[in-house]
Amino acid sequence: MEIRPIAYYRGPLTEKFGTPRQAGLVPDLAGTVEFCEGFEPAMLDGLEGFDYIWLIWGFSMNNPDAAPSSKVRPPRLGGNEKMGVFATRSPYRPNPLGLSSVRLAGIDAAAGRLQVLGADLVDGTPIYDIKPYIVYADSHPDARSGFASEAPGKALKVVWEDPSVRDENLEAILSLDPRPAYHDDPSRIYGLTYNGRNIRFRIAGNVLTVLRD
Amino acid sequence: MEIRPIAYYRGPLTEKFGTPRQAGLVPDLAGTVEFCEGFEPAMLDGLEGFDYIWLIWGFSMNNPDAAPSSKVRPPRLGGNEKMGVFATRSPYRPNPLGLSSVRLAGIDAAAGRLQVLGADLVDGTPIYDIKPYIVYADSHPDARSGFASEAPGKALKVVWEDPSVRDENLEAILSLDPRPAYHDDPSRIYGLTYNGRNIRFRIAGNVLTVLRD
């Protein structure tokens, strides 16, 4: 089946590194869904009654040279343990489709734009479908969730060398520890782009220090 | 993006008519997910820790001649009111992808088969992805759900002319009232196929009578 983007996500993060690994981990992280050709404002009629929407999207940042694999190493398991790809939300799956429930914070139908909160998406991610979140069909609060039974906690304390540039959502992103599991080098300087700003930081023990520009 | 089925659903219902309109409405309705070429048993390692899985599937029973439309008439609204397609779970959407959370009742990795409960799928439905249901990311029990805030109740009382053929799941299916909203003709005889059996019934008022073979 051939599917085409109906919209693109626009958000503050432009690389996989640093982007939250599941929806809702940084609940107030704001982004926009921008519809593309074929959109009509009437397609959103009634959506205002829903607090959450589903996004079905494409893992557009995958390395095209990555060999397909039946098993993957979820970051949640420290990168040491392998799980079957269908037991994980790994980007590297037979069809590279992602699924995220995000909070619907605003609708601008005339402009073809939705404001959403808590997305785990990189800026520019193509979106293939949007569906309303229906509690009776979609919510199973007591379901066992295997190795992902608990939301990852704030792993790191974040210290700002220049407190005047502190940003709460960026701090929440950094506190989740964006490093690959096997990294532990306090001298290494990491970088990411957030809302166009170049952010550099170091991690020693459980303290992440955001460096002065 | 080109996506290919990874599996097909096998279940007792072979037509849209009668198939539950959302996952979980007939919670014990049993079906099977059968993986196809490319499957390896290791792809399921770790899935046994999850109570629910997501299926991303294709609306393969859509009428290919149906004109695309920005607004649809959800059966929940009696077929009279129109909603924007992205505010509904209608099959007729820009990319005909469906999304269902189903209970995982069994795994036969060697045979490439999952037993699932509560699916809202027609036999033969192509499945494009399977993901574990992760409560912290996917469950929002208090979310407002617009026009679908309440699960549809059992609309009809089911009477069996031959009680010896009674089937609880079929009774649950029929009690949801499979008729299109605008039908109300007590003399009309409806039919569907359930587990290969030809089922015929009539509806008068709020009583559905399953006719003797």
Q: Using CA coordinates, name the residue in chain B closest to A146.
A: B49
Which chain A residues are Cβ-neighbours of B84 within 8 angstroms? 42-47
Domain interval for residue A118: 7-138
A44–chain B Cβ distance below 8 A for any pair: yes
Contact A86 B24 (CB under 8 A): no
CATH assignment at residue B95: 2.40.30.70
Q: Do residues A1 and A179 touch, judged by C-beta distance below 8 A? A: no
DSSP 8-class letter at B170: H
Same domain, B18 and B118: yes
pLDDT of residue B117: 98
List the alpha helices (DSSP H) in chain B. Answer: 135-138, 168-175
Contact B52 A100 (CB under 8 A): no
How many C-beta atoms lie closer than 10 Å to residue B100's C-beta?
Answer: 25
B8–chain A Cβ distance below 8 A for any pair: no
With respect to residue A175, please indicate whether it lies within any of the assigned structural domains. Answer: yes
A103, A138, A173 — which closes off a domain?
A: A138
From CA A47, how far away is CA B147, in angstroms rounded? 9
Which chain A residues are Cβ-neighbours of B47 within 8 angstroms? 84, 86-87, 146
With respect to residue A151, please indicate whether it lies within any of the assigned structural domains. Answer: no
Considering only the beta carbons, identify the residue of B1, B133, B147 that sits closest to A145.
Answer: B133
Considering only the beta carbons, identify the residue of B56, B71, B130 that sits closest to A56.
Answer: B56
- The answer on pLDDT for A121 being more than 80 is yes
Same domain, B22 and B127: yes
Q: Using CA coordinates, name the residue in chain A closest to B48.
A: A146
Tokens at B154, concatenated? 């059992």
ipTM of this predicted complex? 0.96
Percent of chain B exceeding pLDDT 70 equals: 100
Q: Using CA coordinates, name the residue in chain A closest to B43.
A: A84
Mean pLDDT of the region B162-181: 95
pLDDT of residue A180: 85
- Which of B70, B58, B72 lies closest to B181, judged by CA? B72
Considering only the beta carbons, identify the residue of A2, A132, A150 that sits closest to B148.
Answer: A132
| pLDDT bracket for residue B166 (50, 70, 90) | very high
Coil vs helix vs strand at B194: strand
Q: Of residues B141 and B180, which shows the higher confidence score? A: B141
Cβ-count burial of A23 within 10 angstroms (0-12 exposed, 13-18 middle, 19+ buried)? buried
Same domain, B18 and B116: yes
- The answer on pLDDT for A173 being more than 90 is yes
| pLDDT bracket for residue A142 (50, 70, 90) | very high
Contact B135 A130 (CB under 8 A): no
From CA A112, how far away is CA A103, in angstroms rounded? 17
- The answer on pLDDT for A67 being more than 90 is no
Same domain, A115 and A17: yes
Percent of chain A exceeding pLDDT 90 equals: 89
| Total domain count, chain B | 2
Same domain, A67 and A162: no
Considering only the beta carbons, identify the residue of A48, A95, A134 that sits closest to B4.
Answer: A95
Q: Using CA coordinates, name the residue in chain B closest to A45.
A: B84
Contact B135 A132 (CB under 8 A): no
What are the Cα distances from residue B99, in Å, to A97, B72, B187? 12, 18, 36
From CA B59, how far away is CA B77, in angstroms rounded? 21
Give just the sign of the alpha carbon dihedral B56, A142, A172, A88: negative
Same domain, B17 and B49: yes
A107, A138, A169 — which closes off a domain?
A: A138
Q: How far B190 CA sits from the closest chain A CA (Å)?
A: 27
Q: Please provide the average confidence, as pLDDT, over all residues in chain A.
A: 96
| pLDDT bracket for residue B134 (50, 70, 90) | very high
With respect to residue A115, please indicate whether it lies within any of the assigned structural domains. Answer: yes
- The answer on pLDDT for B17 being more than 80 is yes
pLDDT of residue B118: 98
How many C-beta atoms lie closer than 10 Å to residue A8's C-beta?
Answer: 18
- Which of B132, B54, B52 lies closest to A148, judged by CA? B132
Same domain, A63 and A93: yes
Which chain B residues are Cβ-neighbours of A154 within 8 angstroms? none
Contact B87 A133 (CB under 8 A): no
pLDDT of residue B67: 83
pLDDT of residue A77: 87
| pLDDT bracket for residue B144 (50, 70, 90) | very high
Q: Do residues B13 and B194 touch, judged by C-beta distance below 8 A? A: yes
Q: Using CA coordinates, name the residue in chain B closest to A109.
A: B84
- The answer on pLDDT for A213 being more than 90 is no
Q: Do residues A182 and A188 touch, judged by C-beta distance below 8 A? A: no
pLDDT of residue B207: 97
- Which of A178, A57, A45 lies closest to B84, judged by CA? A45
Prediction pTM value: 0.97
- Which of B13, B206, B41 lies closest to B121, judged by CA? B13
- The answer on pLDDT for B182 being more than 80 is no
Mean pLDDT of the region B143-158: 92
Which single residue is written with the structure tokens 């909070």?
A: A103
| pLDDT bracket for residue A59 (50, 70, 90) | very high
Contact B42 A132 (CB under 8 A): no
A vs B: CB pairs below 8 A? 239
Q: Please provide the average confidence, as pLDDT, over all residues in chain B.
A: 96
With respect to residue B149, please indicate whether it lies within any of the assigned structural domains. Answer: no
Mean pLDDT of the region A116-129: 98
What are the Cα distances from residue A32, in Å, to A18, A113, B11? 18, 7, 39
pLDDT of residue B154: 82
pLDDT of residue B213: 83
Helix (H) or strand (E) holding B99: strand B97-108
Same domain, B40 and B121: yes
Contact B145 A50 (CB under 8 A): yes
pLDDT of residue B68: 81
With respect to residue A144, please indicate whether it lies within any of the assigned structural domains. Answer: no
Tokens at A94, concatenated? 């037979």
Give just the sign of the alpha carbon dihedral A14, A21, A33, A103: negative
Helix (H) or strand (E) holding B105: strand B97-108
Which chain B residues are Cβ-neighbours of A72 within 8 angstroms? none
**Which residue(s) pair with B53 in the sheet?**
B102, B132
Q: What's chain A look like in SS3? A: CECCCCEEEECCECCCCCCCCCCCCCCCCEEEEEECCCCCHHHHCCHHHECEEEEEEECCCCCCCCCCCCEECCHHHCCCCCEEHHHCCCCCCCCCEEEEEEEEEEEECCCCEEEEECCCCCCCCEEEEEEECCHHHHCCCCCCEHHHCCCCCCCCEEEECCHHHCCHHHHHHHHCCCCCCCCCCCCCCEEEEECCEEEEEEEECCEEEECCC
pLDDT of residue B80: 85
Give just the sign of the alpha carbon dihedral A28, A34, A39, A40: positive
B89–chain A Cβ distance below 8 A for any pair: yes
Sheet holding A157-160, edge to edge: A157-160, A207-210, A197-204, A190-194
Indicate the range of A140-149, B53-62, B175-184 predicted with least confidence.
B175-184
pLDDT in tens, A75-97: 888 888 999 999 999 999 999 99
- The answer on pLDDT for B150 being more than 80 is yes
Same domain, B31 and B93: yes
Mean pLDDT of the region B182-201: 94
Mean pLDDT of the region A174-189: 90
Q: Which of residues 163-202 of B touch A (CB under 8 A)?
A: none
pLDDT of residue A181: 77
With respect to residue B143, please indicate whether it lies within any of the assigned structural domains. Answer: no
